[in-house]
Structure 1
Amino acid sequence: MKFNKKLMIDLLILIVPIIIMLLLMPILPDKISIHRSITGTRSYIDKKYSFILGILPFVIYKLKYDKK
């Protein structure tokens, strides 16, 4: 049984950050600051949507290195 090296890297880049985010969920505050403007106003994301931040490394990786 042969393993596709690219597929394994893709899965690691997708799964590891999501697992880390799920482990951090219990200690995160209810609202997470994701942006602060020059005037000092902040944008927040709810804690239950923070797993989306774990998907960002995979999306960036695919956009940068996925050559078809």
Structure 2
Amino acid sequence: MKINIKDILILIIPVVISILLIPVLPDKIPMQWSLNGTVNWYLDKKFSFIIGIFPFVVYELIKLRHK
């Protein structure tokens, strides 16, 4: 798998932004709501950088599909 600068930026930029935002996030981040508006589960703010990895994963999956 060839990794270029675009791939690295798609991985690094969202992760860095999510790490920088940790001080202003609430302690528990709601992640899923039910149909009646209650929260089903929360993510602790110290794990919020994981959300920054999703754009890279989606980008790589789309890239694989179009090969």
TM above 0.5, yes or no, is: yes
Confirm or deny that 1:52 pairs with 2:50. Answer: yes
Displaced runs of 4 or more, over 6 A:
none
Tell me which amino acid in the other structure corresponds to 1:54. G
Deviation at 1:65, TM superposition (A): 1.1
SS in 1 for 2:4: helix
Unaligned runs of 5+ in 1: none
Aligned to 2:34: 37
Distance 1:48 1:24 in 2: 10
Confirm or deny that 1:18 pairs with 2:35. Answer: no
Give me the CA root mean square deviation.
1.6
Aligned to 2:63: 65
TM-score, normalised with respect to structure 2: 0.85
Give the share of equivalent positions with the same residue, in percent: 52
